[in-house]
Chain A
Amino acid sequence: MHFWSAFAATCVWVALMSIDAGAAVETAPANPSLLAAADTTRNRTSAPATEAGDLAVTSDVPWNPPRALSRRHPWEQVLQFPGRIVTVPISALGYTVEHGLFWMEKTSFVTKATFAARDLRGRAGLSVRPASLGDRTGLGGTIRMDTPFFGGALKNRVSTELSGSTRKYSGVVVTVKGEPGLLEYGQEWRPQDRFYGLGIESVRDSVSDYATQSQFARARLRWTWNQEKREEPRAAFAIWAGTRNVVTRNGRGDGTVSYHVRFPDLGAATLDRHVEHFIYGTSLASDWRVGEPHWSQGWRVWLSAERYDRPIHPLALRVGQPRGAQFTRYDVEVETGKSFLRDPRTLRLLVRMTNQEVSSGGDRFLISDLPKLGGREGLSGFEAGRFHDLDLLATKISYIFPLVGRLELDVHTEWGAVHSNVWEDLKFSTLRNSFGVALRGRLKHTPFGSIGVDFSPEKTRLRFSVGRVE
């Protein structure tokens, strides 16, 4: 302790005594008349003067001090010494990054990789991107195969996507695209989704997990207006119909109790039972949002109604017997925003509501068909899938403001609840709350990525995204 105190005191003393000691010029007054001396050649000490008025570059030996100057005075280096020792690992990392980046630039690695990826997609129809398997699925990727090698009407009309993740989630979707039609067939395996029980009062300690194995086939017709235009109102209308088979299995997560153990009644009604539905529905979306670099004015609305009905025997994927609940799901999502100042500071309000009307078999309702909150679904500060029930209400208020030209901050709070009947049970006191901040990188027209933290009384979650921020 005494040593360090003495060391610091000595350093300060040496520093104060020697800050640019001897540099007489430092104390020279910044007097315009003195500084106005036109003949700067006066200072030459080691080379012959060039002719007065000679404006051309010189090839004379340049003035230099008698020896190389250090970037720092000795006393400065002494003061910096502890910091330099502490940051040696960071310097080593910097050295590695510098040489790695230099290699990438000199070899045009990114250009080559982009070109190769584009070439692979163009010739073989192969592309790779991050998977969209949802929260808590681990690191994942999707390989997409298009059909550029098909001729005629089928050229690039058929695509296959294979997804997988480190938590062993996987899926495959085959799509045949038309305009406005689309045919899809897909399978998915989700081994360890979380379930904490029904309702907003479910406790964190009742955590369990479940697995679902599903397959579906459906046809969809979709019409859109102005989808590529940023400054005009956009709209989309869709109708679809198809069949789906789901079986709920015991959860495969390490150290987590399976749902059928934690909730035996629910397990008895649903575990290992294939449930077939004939699903049909319609949706309408209208989007009047405008603005850049993030949307800052206007509103959007999305309405959807989807019926999960008895299976139609000839279409059924596995069994023609209904073993699940029949129900209709209604979704409404409304979002609006208002901004002020030139670089928009934007206030946004999002309200999302799901209402499900169960017509039969309510006791056999699948967990995977329940609306949920937590993670990306809403109430981001809670664990993904933290709250499940038949109905849902979620709201989000955001304030987005610029930090610098390329960065903006999104400060938001979310309030939401799940209930068996949102119309009857919803009270302000039942709403759960989380809040968060996200730092967003932005280009001229759009944000390109974000990283943020969301907080709830139960958890703090880190979130990030690249590409689709809004």
Chain B
Amino acid sequence: MKPAIILGALLGALGWTDTLVAQPPSGATEMPRERDYSYIYDMLDHSLVRPFTRVFDPALLLRKVVGRPRQAANVGENDQVRLPSTWWQPRIGFRPVTVEQMMKGPGSSAGPAPGKWTVTKAKTQGVTPGFQIEDSKGDRFIIKFDPTTFPELTTSVDVIGSHLFWAAGYNVPHNTIATFKAEDLALDKDATFTDALGKKQPMTPEYLTQLLDRVARLRDGTYRCLASRFISGKPLGPFEYYGRRNDDPEDLIPHELRRELRGLWTVCAFLNHADSRGPNSLDMWVTENGRSFVRHHLIDFGSILGSSAIGPRSYVTGTEYYVDFNVIGQQAATIGLRPFDWERVVDPKIASIGFVEGRVFDPAGWRPDYANPAFDERTERDIRWGAKIVAGFTDEHIRAAVKAGSYSDLRASEYLTQVLIQRRDKLVRHWLGPDYRVPYDTR
């Protein structure tokens, strides 16, 4: 017995159990355990540890030398994602998606219904204040706000992101811009918030007033917010961009070998989603059509485009990782005399946009804030797959999505539209060539 345990532990530590233990691809019957992981460790691991393990990985080195990277494992003969998938659905770029379909895509209804919003809980995670509500129809939403010094910055991009990522084929929450007056809010009798010491406290009207004091108010006395509809199902925590969820019998492909996640790089480059990391994802246990299973979502688009959730994105965003050994090496070798590409950018100085641009944007070299394991494994075929999705966005799609961000400054919406068109064109031209056309009629 003991040798078996030791052998099992050793094999586990060496990562060999996947090879030896086959799991049947039957449907899930039991709900997988809810899980979470350290977000700081996630960043440290992918920024500092994994780059070294990749450099000293002889198998990876050999693959590089012979020019044979490991390709995505869930593609068919025509290099497309094998379907059905609980991660992704073929939409824009592969099928016609009208502007109207895109705008209704993430959810058929609008935001919270008019009438009293009952506050049930204050949002304790994230950098901006927020709370959870139940509208007059009983639908539940997460309410989030903009940083006071950057009105419209994060709420806009969260809505834009939900439409564009939905159209790209991913599962996302339904986000809308909403406004309310303080008197529209009612406190649920069991409403709670978590205090600074981590203790749950009953939410009082005074606390709600204090929370609203931290939020910018519009000229007419209303508050602008992002209303994010609760995703249906039971939350199981974030997924990771590598490995598998071992207690989900339908999760048999290591995530870094999934085309949908590798090819997501191109869509993230398009939308400057530098915060594309595991913690901004959510697995849900859903029961539909008599079947219970895990559905995988991308969430929290408050840090895409020009927003970093608490302010504008840095000029550096998208050009390097937080700790980028390649860039560090180049800079050290040239004692800093080589100018960074981002030093040529022009900041539009529009508070509601933050910082995002398309002129200096490098369609081949875009990087998230820190390395994403699925992106690291991407091959040219994965990128081109993602580029086809990006190519599917017409100017009208982009205009409509930006319009959903409800910018009060016309300059902002026009600038963002032009930037997105510019980034799309660069990506498509670079990865698919200047003559690429989507394989369906876009009229």
| Chain A residues in the interface with B (C-beta under 8 A) | 12, 15-16, 19-20, 23-26, 28, 30, 32, 34-38, 40-47, 49-50, 53, 55-77, 79-81, 83-84, 87-88, 91, 94, 97-99, 101-102, 104-108, 111-112, 115-116, 341-343, 345, 399, 401-407, 409, 411, 444
Residues of A near B433 (CB, < 8 A) are: 32
B250-A64 in contact (CB<8A):
yes
How far is B321's CA from A49's CA once the two chains are assembled, in angstroms? 40
Where the two chains meet, the residues of B that have a C-beta atom closer than 8 Å to any C-beta of A are: 13-16, 18-19, 21-25, 27, 36-41, 44-45, 49, 53, 56-59, 62-63, 66, 68, 70-71, 73-86, 89-91, 94-97, 101, 105, 171, 196-198, 242-244, 250, 252-254, 256-257, 286, 288-289, 291, 293, 295, 314, 316, 320-324, 327-328, 331-332, 335-337, 339-340, 343, 380-381, 384-385, 388, 432-433, 436, 438-440
* Contact among B19, B86, B289, B336 with A70 in the assembled complex (CB-CB below 8 Å): B19
Q: Are A35 and B66 in contact (CB under 8 A)?
A: no
Given A15-B59, A403-B332, are A44 and B83 neighbors across the interface (CB < 8 Å)?
yes
- Contacts A80-B59, A112-B197, A341-B343 given; does A59 touch B293 at CB 8 Å: yes
Chain B hits for A411, CB < 8 A: 335
Q: Is the CB of A41 within 8 A of B58?
A: no
Determine the chain B residues whose CB is within 8 A of the CB of A49 once the complex forms: 83
A61 to B250, CA, bound (A): 8
Chain A residues whose C-beta falls within 8 Å of the C-beta of B41 in the assembled complex:
97-98, 101-102
Q: List 14 A-B contacts (CB under 8 A).
A: A12-B62, A40-B80, A43-B80, A63-B83, A65-B73, A67-B22, A67-B25, A68-B21, A71-B242, A79-B58, A84-B13, A84-B14, A101-B41, A405-B322
Q: Is the CB of B336 within 8 A of A105?
A: no
| Contact assessment for B323 and A28 in the assembled complex, using a CB-CB cutoff below 8 Å | no
Establish whether residues A63 and B432, one from each chain, have CB atoms under 8 Å apart when the complex forms: no
Instruction: Give chain B nearest CB distance to A96 CB in angstroms.
Output: 11
Chain B interface mostly: loop
The answer, among A55, A62, A106, for a CB contact under 8 Å with B85, is: A62
A82 to chain B, nearest CB (A): 9
Alpha-carbon distance between A342 and B433 when the two chains are bound, in angstroms: 33
CB distance from B278 to the nearest CB of A (A): 13
A98 to chain B: which residues have CB within 8 Å?
Answer: 37-38, 41, 45
Q: A37-B439, A341-B339 are in contact. List 17 more A-B contacts (CB 8 A).
A: A38-B439, A40-B83, A43-B75, A61-B27, A62-B250, A63-B85, A70-B18, A71-B242, A79-B58, A84-B14, A88-B13, A105-B40, A111-B198, A342-B339, A345-B337, A402-B340, A403-B336
Contacts of A23 in B (CB 8 A): 71
A404 & B316 in contact (Cβ 8 Å cutoff): yes
In the bound complex, do residue A71 and residue B84 qualify as a contact, i.e. CB atoms below 8 Å apart?
A: no
Contacting residue for A26 out of B71, B96, B198, B288, CB 8 A:
B71
| Closest residue on chain A to residue B320 by CB atoms | A404
Asked whether, in the complex, the Cβ of A407 is within 8 Å of the Cβ of B336, the reply is no
Query: How far, in angstroms, from A66 to B59 measured CA to CA in the complex?
Result: 25
CB of A71 within 8 A of CB of B256, answer yes
Which A residues lie within 8 Å of B83 (CB)?
40-41, 43-44, 47, 49-50, 58, 63
B252 lies within 8 A of A105 (CB)? no
* Pair A74/B78 contact, Cβ less than 8 Å: no
Contact A67:B23 (CB < 8 A) given known A40-B94, A55-B91, A84-B14: yes
Check A345–B336 contact: CB distance below 8 A.
Answer: yes
Residue of B nearest to A118 (CB): B196
Q: How far is the CA of A63 from the CA of B322 in the complex (A)?
A: 36
- Of listed B38, B75, B336, residue having the most chain A CB within 10 A: B336
Asked if B343 and A401 sit within 8 Å, CB to CB, the answer is: no
Report chain A residues within 8 Å CB of B438.
36
Q: Point out the residue from A57, A68, A81, A105 that lies within 8 Å of B39, measured CB to CB.
A: A105
Complex-state Cα separation, A80 to B62, whole angstroms: 11
- Bound state CA distance, A40 and B89, in angstroms? 9
Q: Which residues of A contact B436 (CB under 8 A)?
A: 32
Interchain CB contact under 8 A, A62 and B77: no
Q: What 9 A-B pairs come out closest when comparing CB atoms?
A: A401-B336, A43-B76, A405-B316, A76-B59, A59-B288, A64-B25, A67-B22, A36-B439, A102-B38
Give chain B residues whose Cβ lies under 8 Å from the Cβ of A59: 286, 288-289, 291, 293
Residues of chain A within 8 A (CB-CB) of B80 are 35, 37, 40, 42-43
Contact yes or no, A28 B79, CB < 8 A: yes
| Among A47, A101, A102, A409, contact of B84 (Cβ-Cβ < 8 Å) | A47
* B161 nearest CB across to chain A (Å): 17
Q: Please determine whether B18 and A69 come into contact, CB atoms closer than 8 angstroms.
A: yes
Contact B95–A53 (Cβ < 8 Å): yes
Nearest CB of B to A413, in Å: 14
Are A68 and B252 in contact, with the CB atoms below 8 A?
A: yes
Given A35-B388, A68-B244, also A28-B432 (CB < 8 A): no
From A62, A74, A407, give the contact of B86 (CB < 8 A): A62
Kindly identify which residue among A56, A112, A405 contacts B196, using a CB–CB cutoff of 8 Å: A112
Q: A71 CA to B57 CA in the complex, in Å?
A: 14
* Residues of chain B within 8 A of A104, CB atoms compared: 38, 40
With contacts A69-B254, A98-B41 taken as known, whether A30 is within 8 angstroms of B343 at the C-beta atoms is no
- Give the CA-CA distance A342 to B81 in the complex, in Å: 44
Chain A residues lying within 8 Å of B23, measured Cβ to Cβ, are 67-68
A residues in contact with B295, CB < 8 Å? 57
Partner of A19, one of B66, B171, B328: B66
Contacts of A41 in B (CB 8 A): 83, 90
Q: Once the chains are docked, how many angstroms separate the CA of A407 from the CA of B47?
A: 13
- Which of A28, A35, A104, A112 is most buried by chain B, counting CB atoms within 10 A of its CB? A35
- Chain B residues near A83 (CB-CB < 8 A): 56-58
Contact call A105/B78, Cβ cutoff below 8 A: no
Q: Which of B38, B56, B71, B89 is within 8 Å of A57, CB to CB?
A: B89
Closest chain-A Cβ to B79's Cβ sits at a distance in Å of 6
Q: Are B323 and A115 neighbours in the complex by a CB distance under 8 Å?
A: no
B84–A61 touching, CB < 8 Å: yes
Least Cβ distance of B18 to chain A in Å? 4
The answer to whether B22 and A68 touch across the interface, beta carbons within 8 angstroms, is yes
Contacts of B242 in A (CB 8 A): 71
- Complex partner residue of B252 from A69, A76, A405, CB under 8 angstroms: A69
- Within the complex, the shortest CB–CB distance from A447 to chain B, in Å, comes to 15
- B82: which of A28, A43, A66, A99 is its contact (CB, 8 Å)? A43
Q: How far is the CA of A47 from the CA of B26 in the complex (A)?
A: 12
B84 touches A62 (CB 8 A): yes
Cα-based distance from A12 to B66 in the complex (angstroms): 11
> CA–CA, A41 to B440, complex, Å?
15
Q: How far is the CA of A115 from the CA of B322 in the complex (A)?
A: 28
- Residues of chain B within 8 A of A343, CB atoms compared: 340, 343
Q: B257's contact among A19, A69, A80, A402, by CB below 8 Å, is which?
A: A69
